[in-house]
Amino acid sequence: MANTITLKRRIGSVKNTRQITKAMELVAASKMRRAQEFARRSRNYRIAAYSLLTRLSNVTDVNEHPLFTKRPVKRRLYVVVTSNQGLAGAYDANILKLLTKSIREDEAKGVKARVITIGKKGANFVRNLQGVDLLAVYNELSDQPTANELRPLLNTITEQYGQRDVDEVKLLYTDFKSNLVQIATPLRVLPASFEETPEDIAAVENVTFEPSPQAVLDNAAIRLIEVQIWQAILESFASEQSMRMMAMKNATDNASDLIDDLTLAFNTARQAAITQELAEITGGAEAIK
């Protein structure tokens, strides 16, 4: 009888856990839909920023700008986008694995690494790495960060690069492809770069820059970095919620399977106990005869 009591308690415990994971799955699904919409909407803004810089590059020498200047890499700064909470499957593990691989490659080349983390999980991981400087931690960003929220991070990055404390800045984030596919992706932020297309080259002839191309470039360079970071955070948040939804769905399904197995074991134990009691009653009756 003690065995059936234990099994009954385990079944109740697993059912309670399943209710929690199911609720977390629904919450993550709701957040994921909003995050997907925000990420898709802002992709055109990032494309427009690249287009503007491409047009500027045809009328002024962008390589003379301090944020576009390339130099030999002796110190590299990584900006890593992670989560503040767990239970998101391999979301944090994938991006931290990419960070570890990148740092090892830097060590082999004699490049020193510095890290800025967005999210508590990344900060906790980097604190345990030897020989890596953790410059800052930003864990209070909202789902849709505003320009004011990104300003301290943006200032830190540009100051580090402008003062030659680092020679390159890489952004490590999770690119959202679909509900089932999210890829840990590195993106070079500084020195700033762009991709030229024939459409941009043709369009520059009809563009007038005020007050001057160089003045526009000064503001556009900062906006380019800002939009890259902003878009990466939106993509990462959509990926986080998608992976959390899938993780909670898998946990809910596993709990249902476990409940079925425990219920079968409970019924088997209960049937065995009933059979034993009947055998004892029959044996007792035969003994009286």
As given in the structure block, the two tokens for residue 144 are: 């849709």
Instruction: Check residue 270 and give left, alpha or beta (phi > 0: left; psi -120 to 50: alpha).
Output: alpha
For residue 203, pLDDT beyond 50: no
DSSP state, residue 62: G
Residue 141 lies in a domain: yes
Residue 96 lies in a domain: yes
Residue 279 lies in a domain: no
Total count of domains within the chain:
1
What is the reported pLDDT for 201? 45
pTM comes to 0.78
For residue 76, pLDDT beyond 70: yes
Q: What percent of the chain has pLDDT over 90?
A: 1
What is the reported pLDDT for 199? 47
Q: Tens of pLDDT along 162-180?
A: 888 888 888 899 888 877 7
Residue 185 lies in a domain: yes
What is the reported pLDDT for 288? 74
Q: Which domain holds residue 180?
A: 26-246
Residue 219 lies in a domain: yes
Confidence of residue 108 (pLDDT cuts 50, 70, 90): confident
* Cβ atoms within 10 Å of 164's Cβ, excluding its own: 12
Confidence of residue 60 (pLDDT cuts 50, 70, 90): low
Nearest to 228 by CA among 54, 88, 79: 79
Distance CA 110, CA 53 (A): 33
Average pLDDT over residues 274-286: 73
Residue 102 lies in a domain: yes
CB under 8 Å to 109, separation ≥6 — which residues? none
* Cβ atoms within 10 Å of 254's Cβ, excluding its own: 14
Average pLDDT over residues 81-85: 86
CATH number at 102 reads 3.40.1380.10
| 133-138 and 182-190 strand pairing | unpaired
Distance CA 267, CA 223 (A): 65
**CA dist 230 to 38, 95, 100, 170, 275, Å?**
11, 17, 23, 14, 67
Distance CA 68, CA 61 (A): 10
Residue 51 lies in a domain: yes
CB under 8 Å to 112, separation ≥6 — which residues? 74, 75, 76, 106, 131, 133
Computed on alpha carbons and rounded to an integer, the radius of gyration of the chain in Å comes to: 28
Average pLDDT over residues 147-160: 85
What is the reported pLDDT for 17? 87
Q: Tokens 């320009």 appear where? A: 147
DSSP state, residue 64: G
Residue 47 lies in a domain: yes
* Cβ atoms within 10 Å of 232's Cβ, excluding its own: 23
Nearest to 172 by CA among 85, 242, 97: 97
As given in the structure block, the two tokens for residue 98 are: 């990419």
* Exposed e or buried b per residue across 70-89, where buried means at least 16 C-beta atoms within 10 angstroms of its C-beta: eeeeebbbbbbbbbeeeebb
